[in-house]
Amino acid sequence: MNIVPALDGERKSRKASKETRRSQLIEATIDSLAKRGYSDTTLANVADGAGLSRGIVNFHFESKEKLLVATLQHMSDEYSGHWNAALEKAGPRAADRIWALINADFDRRICTKRKLAAWCAFWGEAKSRPTYQALCGMNDRDYQQTFVTLCTALKAEGGYGYDPEAMALGICSMMEGLWFRLMMNDGLTREKALAAAIEYVAAVFPDHISTSGVK
């Protein structure tokens, strides 16, 4: 009797179970950050939110700080993967790529009040926690540099008079501001935020983008 396939299956099952537990705990941490904020999120309420024991949380993450770092890493990787996938799907034209990035930022898979609240909880702690800055810093720089590259290309095509780096910063800051407004729950909807972002880039790149799409 060959027991190797059975052992391989058991190992895969254990690995899947470990990854499932970690995913449950990270999702419960996002829920807790959104509901309670950073300071009041504890291992106990994360365990309760995931429907798991406190011992399971300690086994996978050992401490609240390690759990939070893993959660931030997960969110950062998810966001980076999302906008990079949108870029790849958009093709080579700069206008198509900017249109894709704007829409990706307000996609319902990424732009939810739950996730925005969790992001804000981390942003509030980032100044005093270099680990958090390091986790997000590279992705933030890559994201903004992508906009610099695209703004440079559209300036060359359309003869616009802006500075590409300043324009890229303006676009990124505008979208971050809309995220904050959504998180504040002041009546702004995701659809209205997306429409506002599109109005902005349509005004900036009138020869390339309109409110209805890429020209």
Tell me the pLDDT band of 138, cut-offs 50, 70 and 90. Answer: confident
| pLDDT at 11 (0 to 100) | 43
Percent of the chain whose pLDDT exceeds 90? 72
Token pair, residue 110, equals 């990424």
- Give just the sign of the alpha carbon dihedral 104, 19, 33, 145: negative
Nearest to 212 by CA among 78, 190, 161, 201: 201
The model's pTM: 0.85
> What does the pLDDT average to over 116-136?
84
How many whole angstroms separate alpha carbon 140 and alpha carbon 109? 19
Query: What is the residue extent of each domain of the chain?
Result: 1-62, 68-214
Stretch among 15-19, 170-174, 210-214 having the lowest mean pLDDT: 15-19
pLDDT(189) > 90? yes
- The residue with tokens 């972002």 is 197
pLDDT tens per residue across span 30-74: 999 999 999 999 999 999 999 988 888 888 898 999 999 999 999
pLDDT(79) > 80? yes
CATH architecture classification, 1-62: Orthogonal Bundle (1.10)
How many whole angstroms separate alpha carbon 79 and alpha carbon 91? 19
Indicate the CATH number for domain 68-214: 1.10.357.10
Which has the higher per-residue pLDDT, 134 or 205? 205
pLDDT(7) > 80? no
| pLDDT at 12 (0 to 100) | 42
